[in-house]
Amino acid sequence: MIGVAPIAIRLSEVGPHATNLWRFLFALPILAAWAANSRPIPSARQTLWLVGGGLLFGLEISLWAMALNLTTITNATLLVNLTPVFAAIFGWLWLKERLSLPILGGGALALVGAVTLALARAQSGHGPAAAAAHGWIGDSIALLGAIFYAGYLMIVRAMGKNVSVGAVMFWATLGATVVSAVLSFSLGEAMMPQTWFGWALVISLGLLVQICGQGLIAYGVGRLPIVISTVLLWMQPVVAAVLSWILFGEALSAVALLGAALVLAGIFLVQRARA
Q: What percent of the chain has pLDDT over 90?
A: 30
In this predicted structure, which of 30-34, 216-220, 269-273 has the lowest mean pLDDT? Answer: 269-273
Residue 145 pLDDT > 70: yes
CA distances from 122 to 15, 72, 76, 146 (A): 22, 8, 10, 18
% of the chain beyond a pLDDT of 70: 89
CA nearest to 118, candidates 20, 263, 271: 263
Contact of 14 with 22, CB cutoff 8 Å: yes
At 236, the pLDDT band (50, 70, 90 cuts) reads confident
- CB contact at 8 A, 112 and 81: no
Q: What is the pLDDT of residues 42-98, one digit of tens each?
A: 899 999 999 999 999 999 888 877 776 676 655 666 677 777 777 777 777 777 777
CA distance linking residue 243 with residue 249, whole number of Å = 9
Q: Is the pLDDT of residue 10 over 50?
A: yes
Instruction: Note the pTM of the prediction, 2 decimals.
Output: 0.79
pLDDT for 165-178, tens place per residue? 999 999 999 999 99
Q: Tell me what the mean pLDDT of segment 92-105 comes to.
A: 76
